[in-house]
Chains A and B, each alone.
Chain A
Amino acid sequence: MWSFLKKDILVLFRDKTELAVLLLMPLVLTSILGFALGGVMSGSTEGISSSVAFVQKGQTEQDVKRFKEEVKQLPIPDEAKAQISEAVDSFQPVNVITDVFNSDEFNEMFQIKSMNETDALSALSNEEVSAILIVPEDFTYEALRKMVLEQGEGSELIVQTGDHSSFSASIFEDVIEIIINQLNLGSAIAKETGEEGVVPSFENDSSELGDVQSVTDKKPMSPLQYYTFAMGVMFALYVGSTMAHKGYVENFQNVFNRIILSGKHPMMYLSGKGISTMLLVFIQLVILFTISVLVLRSFMMDDIIEWAGIALITFVYAISIGSVGALLTSITMRANSSSITGVFSGGIVSILAFLGGSFVPKTQLPEFISVLGGWTPNGLALTSYLQWSQGLGFDFILPSLIKLLIFTIIILSISLMIFPRKRVV
């Protein structure tokens, strides 16, 4: 098997045109997009500094009072009623949001402007704010009923972004989503542990209570960092078509026949193609990330755990592209034509790259496209890279990695079925 790998690596590394496409192009595009879009989606907290409108439609005090009145009517012991009342005084859902808004780190990224809904909508359309957070009427009352009494449907925070909304709006949405997760999880943990209430904090690490994510863990991402990953996952796809095309040439020039005549099983050849593709994708991404770090200064090299995670994602992604390489090789060999590799590299890669967020972040795409992109191998890998680099833990990236492995198994099975084993005696 090593002979096949060595041969494929040597053949590819001596093809200067292919090397330029696979290594130079992504670096050039990363630099162009990363620096050109720096103003639009700056990753430094200083760079984002965008304004967000905060609209609170209800009255928290009235909601709390109304909730306490309801508790008084409950057929439970007075002692329990007193405990609930005390807990509600110390924990109100909306305070979690305002606590976050008052934190220094949040203020480095966002400037909160309290206003009424009409003004907020006007500000959004005038691009004065990049998003609006609306706390609806009865939010506190409904949230407390749901969280404490498990009654009603609960309530929802509304985040509204405009057509012009940029990367910063996406980050803001993420922040709010995490706050909501904290609220829900904090409530659940409180019930589980029997505590009066757990207030998830923006600044305190609450991991001791369970798997609660702190918003501060989600580091902002610069365009350079984003496009390092985005271009990497996109150009890794080209390795699949390149390897399949080499397979076509091997078949066309009878080299494949020569391999078969040596007594090697055709499946050995296909496995060689898959593993070579995997190895080359891994090498390609390692080179790209290393140059991005050393030359473009896109990342710091100070956290070994962070790089171990990136290596893991790269490895899983390389396996999945290995299966793509095997599938394209199978189709090419069966059809005895190189047109499929042309179609793949000339069109399908661009479509996958668009869906997967290599050109613009998925959050800025229409929802159905974003959902579709979430099922592409490059989309899954990009999401994993971004989540991991933003400090979200292994639990966040695990679902994407599992999906990538499932994708790999399916694609490999199809390529095994397609590969023309019976062409030879």
Chain B
Amino acid sequence: MLETVNLKKVFKQNVAADDVNLYLDQGESVGLLGPNGAGKSTTISMISTLLRPTSGDVKWHGKSVIKNPNEIRDVLGVVPQEIALYKELSALENLKFFGKIYGLKGKQLDKKIQEVLEIVGLTERQKDLVKTYSGGMKRRINIAVALLHEPVIIIMDEPTVGIDPQSRNYILEMVRQLKEEKGMTVLYTSHYMEEVERLCDRIYIMDHGKVIATGTKEELTSILSSEETIIVDFDRPYPNLVNKLEKNESILQVTETDNGIKLIVPKGSRQLGTIFNLAEKEEAQITSINVQVPTLEDVFLHLTGRKLRD
């Protein structure tokens, strides 16, 4: 339905997006995962016709949207990372303004406004000025505006940044309902692995402007299927112990965490004994130990050597 073909954007000499190829099928939810500065926002700006690519193309049902931007604009709802609203106006006034510029009017506009207000759970507060809203409410009305013209595809650029866990859950549940109950196609960007894991059928992992991995969650984690993750927490940091573990050739990766270390080791290599022995020699007190199957975070770490939030 929607695909990008070798999409590239160069700002002066910086490559923000480099040969990005991705596609979305009708009704599926696709995640674009990557740390800040990975090129996610640049990519979705090009897809939503707000930024002209340096090269490559975006195709909607096989037709270039670079040449015919209005074809995709009619069916596209974009939720920007910023609160793209007039804060001096009420939610209702904002929705009326954006509804009208989308060509809605009269009873149809009023009906649609009440519908989206219900979706985002702000019917009761519709007459309040946006500037009086909490961060989570602003995010929700930001989404409501993008839903007004009944888009086929909705692109959400980090819609949960900077809000409390309760509002975040509300938004994630709302996105799930849009996909499952309204059949909307969703392109969701985030640097929160758990959001993408929860919402998306397929995932593109981006770093330094490139798509470095793609697939379902299971496909991506299977990259690390021959490995397992051991998380060990200590009462305090033990730098010597970390050094010794790093020198151990049978341990693939050692990363320091807030409370201890995270190790990636070959599956079934029985490294727990080694870890206990070294800890005893360093007189390190282990407070907990946990063996995990790999997560997307581990996949990202494995592919880039960095954490998602770096």
Bound complex: CA of A11 vs CA of B93, how far in Å? 10
Measured CB to CB, the closest approach of chain A to B44, in angstroms, equals 11
Q: Is the CB of B82 within 8 A of A425?
A: no
Closest A-B pairs by Cβ, 7 of them: A254-B84, A14-B88, A425-B49, A254-B80, A3-B100, A262-B101, A425-B69
Q: Which partner residue on chain A sits nearest B68 by CB separation?
A: A425
Interface string of B79-109 (1 = CB under 8 A from A): 0111111101100010011101111000000
Q: Is B302 an interface residue (CB 8 A)?
A: no
Bound complex: CA A45 to CA B89 (Å) = 51
Beta-carbon contact of B50 and A264 below 8 Å: no
Q: Are A425 and B101 in contact, CB atoms less than 8 angstroms apart?
A: no
B51 at the interface (CB under 8 A from A): yes
Residue B175 is within 8 A (CB to CB) of chain A in the complex = no
Q: Are B85 and A3 in contact (CB under 8 A)?
A: no
Is the Cβ of A261 less than 8 Å from the Cβ of B89?
no
Within 8 A of B (CB), among A356-406: none
What residue of chain B has the Cβ atom nearest to residue A12's Cβ? B88
Interface size class on chain B is 20 to 34
B78 within 8 A of A: yes
Interface centre among A10, A257, A422 (most CB of B within 10 A): A257
- Are B82 and A7 within 8 A (Cβ)? no
> Total A-B pairs in contact (CB under 8 Å)?
74
- State the main secondary structure of chain B at its contact with A: loop
Q: Given contacts A253-B84, A254-B84, A425-B52, are A262 and B69 in contact (CB under 8 A)?
A: no
Choice from B49, B81, B86 contacting A261 with Cβ under 8 Å: B49
Set B49, B65, B78, B100: member contacting A258, Cβ < 8 A: B78
Q: Which of A255, A260, A425 touches B85 (beta carbons < 8 Å)? A: A255
Q: Considering the chains assembled together, what is the distance between the CA atoms of A267 and B280 in angstroms?
A: 73
Q: Are B82 and A254 in contact (CB under 8 A)?
A: yes
Among B191-236, those with CB < 8 Å from A are none
**CB-nearest residue of chain A relative to B97?**
A7
Minimum CB–CB distance for B159 against chain A, Å: 13
Main secondary structure of the interface of A (DSSP, over half): helix
Interface residue ranges, A against B (CB under 8 Å): 3-4, 6-7, 10-11, 14-15, 252-255, 257-264, 422, 424-425
CB distance from B113 to the nearest CB of A (A): 14
C-alpha gap A264/B101 in the complex (Å): 7
28 A-B contacts, Cβ less than 8 Å apart? A3-B97, A6-B97, A10-B88, A10-B93, A11-B89, A14-B88, A14-B89, A14-B129, A15-B88, A253-B82, A253-B83, A254-B82, A254-B84, A255-B85, A261-B48, A261-B49, A261-B73, A261-B76, A262-B73, A262-B102, A263-B70, A263-B73, A263-B74, A263-B102, A264-B101, A422-B52, A425-B51, A425-B52
Fill in one digit per residue for B139-168: 1 if any A CB lies within 8 Å of its CB, else 0.
000000100010000000000000000000
Contact with A424, one of B49, B80, B149 (Cβ below 8 angstroms): B49
Q: Which of B52, B84, B86, B101 has the most CB of A within 10 A?
A: B101
